């Protein structure tokens, strides 16, 4: 089974419907992955349409190059580089931005990527394997306090300090260099865990989010994306983690409000700054049927907003 077949795009039809695709529009897929959403989007575009797809994973870009479609432009870069890369392409505005956050199935299922405790492999976790520090490298030099902070803030791990101390003790006798080593350390340090969840789940998730700066990348791309959305264009974001969804929810809420000025400021209603976004519907979650067919979809939540006319 090839990588394209292994990855099942979550909320595929719902996301495409939310984008309200115009056949001649320009769209950005900020997370190409294995191209599930991009392929479906291309199918809805006409001959004059254009799709620009970002991904920082070299394997994803390689998979994208198998698509022979002149309407598709692939960009090997994180979506936080949106403005810079679009400037290089001469694209000033677009009709829709789709962000499918988190990690893709091929990344989780490839032992060499070191993102899963299901395999004993080098402790890497980088989404872009061509640059940056691995988790093993970071753990070798981080203090107990730094490790505790990452596990607590990015993984909401109750036993963050105990795990950090266990890592520090273990590395005194040699590097914590594999997923198996880390999973064993965490399992011994975590006293209790939610039923059905491996003790290392939160730690692995926290380290992956941290080493890839996933929350910071998201916080940067949202305002840059909205700034380039055409009036009537849609922002569609699929999150898989409560910290991601919190950022998206607050951003969309704040950008849809016109009353963010100090109270009692002497302004008429028509003098208030116009909101940049309008919320579209409620948060969408996968159906029971989709979760049954693809269990990794269970935590997904999709939020949608539309760009308002400029003030």
pLDDT of residue 107: 83
54 is in an annotated binding site: no
pLDDT of residue 189: 94
pLDDT of residue 106: 81
pLDDT of residue 1: 35
pLDDT of residue 3: 39
Q: Which residues contact 152 (CB under 8 A, 6 or more apart)?
A: 160
- For the structural domain made of 116-212, what CATH number should be given? 1.10.150.170
| DSSP SS3 for 32 | coil
Burial (CB < 10 A; 0-12, 13-18, 19+), residue 197, is exposed
What is the pLDDT tens value at each position of the chain, 311 positions in all?
A: 343 335 678 999 999 999 999 999 999 999 999 999 999 999 999 999 999 999 999 999 999 999 999 999 999 999 999 999 999 999 999 999 999 997 887 888 788 888 888 889 999 999 999 999 999 999 999 999 999 999 999 999 999 999 999 999 999 989 899 999 999 999 999 987 778 788 999 999 999 999 999 999 999 999 999 999 999 999 999 999 999 999 999 999 999 986 555 555 555 555 556 899 999 999 999 999 999 998 889 999 999 999 998 65
204 is in an annotated binding site: no
205 is in an annotated binding site: no
CA distances to 76, 211, 229, 291, 303 from 282, rounded to whole Å, are: 32, 32, 21, 19, 7
Strands 72-76 and 50-55, how do they pair?
Answer: parallel
29 is in an annotated binding site: no
pLDDT of residue 265: 56
100 is in an annotated binding site: yes
CATH architecture designation of domain 12-100+214-307 = 3-Layer(aba) Sandwich (3.40)
Reading the block at residue 9, the tokens are 């795009």
Domain ranges of the chain: 12-100+214-307, 116-212
198 is in an annotated binding site: no
Strands 301-307 and 26-29, how do they pair?
Answer: unpaired
107 is in an annotated binding site: yes
pTM assigned to the model: 0.90
């Amino acid at each position: 089974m090839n990588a394209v077949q292994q990855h099942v795009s979550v909320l595929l039809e719902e996301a495409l419907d939310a984008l309200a695709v115009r056949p001649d529009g320009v769209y950005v897929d900020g997370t190409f992955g294995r191209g599930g959403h991009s392929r479906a989007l291309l199918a809805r575009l006409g001959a004059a349409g254009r799709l620009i797809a970002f991904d920082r994973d070299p394997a994803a870009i390689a998979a994208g190059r198998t698509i022979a479609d002149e309407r598709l432009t692939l960009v090997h870069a994180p979506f936080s580089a949106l403005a810079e890369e679009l400037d290089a392409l001469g694209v000033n505005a677009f009709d829709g931005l789709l962000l499918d956050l988190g990690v893709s199935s091929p990344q989780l299922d490839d032992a060499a990527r070191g993102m899963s405790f299901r395999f004993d492999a080098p402790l890497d976790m980088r989404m872009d394997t061509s640059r940056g520090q691995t988790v093993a490298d970071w753990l070798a030099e981080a203090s107990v306090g730094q490790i505790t902070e990452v596990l607590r803030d990015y993984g909401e791990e109750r036993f963050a300090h105990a795990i950090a101390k266990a890592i520090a003790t273990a590395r005194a006798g040699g590097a914590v260099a594999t997923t198996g080593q880390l999973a064993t350390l965490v399992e011994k340090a975590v006293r209790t865990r939610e039923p059905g969840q491996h003790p290392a789940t939160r730690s692995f998730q926290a380290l992956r989010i941290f080493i890839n700066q996933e929350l910071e990348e998201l916080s940067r791309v949202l305002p840059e994306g909205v700034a380039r959305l055409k009036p009537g264009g849609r922002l569609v974001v699929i999150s898989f983690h409560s910290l991601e969804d919190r950022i998206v929810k607050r951003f969309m809420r704040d950008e849809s409000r016109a009353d963010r000025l100090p109270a009692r400021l002497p302004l008429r209603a028509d003098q208030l700054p116009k909101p940049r976004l309008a919320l579209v519907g409620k948060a969408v979650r996968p159906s029971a049927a989709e979760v049954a067919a693809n269990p990794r979809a269970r935590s997904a939540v999709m939020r949608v907003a539309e760009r308002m006319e400029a003030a």
